[in-house]
Amino acid sequence: MKKIIFASHHNLAVGLKDTVQYILPNVGEITAIAGYIDNSSIEEKINEVMVRDNEDTDILIFTDMLGGSVNQAFIKYINQPNVYLITGMNLPVVLTILLNTLNKRLTDNHIREAIQEAQDQLVYVNDYLKNIVVDEEDE
Mean pLDDT score, 36-64: 91
Show me where the domains of the chain are located: 2-138
> How many CB atoms neighbour CB 55 within 10 A?
10
Average pLDDT, the chain: 92
Is pLDDT of 56 > 90?
A: no
In degrees rounded to 5, what are phi and psi of residue 26? -110, 30
Give CATH superfamily name and number for 2-138: Phosphotransferase system, mannose-type IIA component (3.40.50.510)
In percent, the amount of the chain with pLDDT more than 70 equals: 95
Q: How far apart are CA 112 and CA 97, in angstroms?
A: 9
63 pairs with which residues across the strands?
Answer: 7, 87
Distances (CA, A) of 100 to 12, 45, 70, 84, 109: 23, 29, 26, 15, 11
Q: Are 84 and 60 in contact (CB under 8 A)?
A: yes
Q: How far apart are CA 33 and CA 46, in angstroms?
A: 8
In degrees rounded to 5, what are phi and psi of residue 9? -75, 125
Low-confidence winner among 5-14, 28-37, 102-111, 128-137 (lowest mean pLDDT)? 128-137
**pLDDT tens, 67-119?**
999 999 999 999 999 999 999 999 999 999 999 998 889 999 999 999 999 99
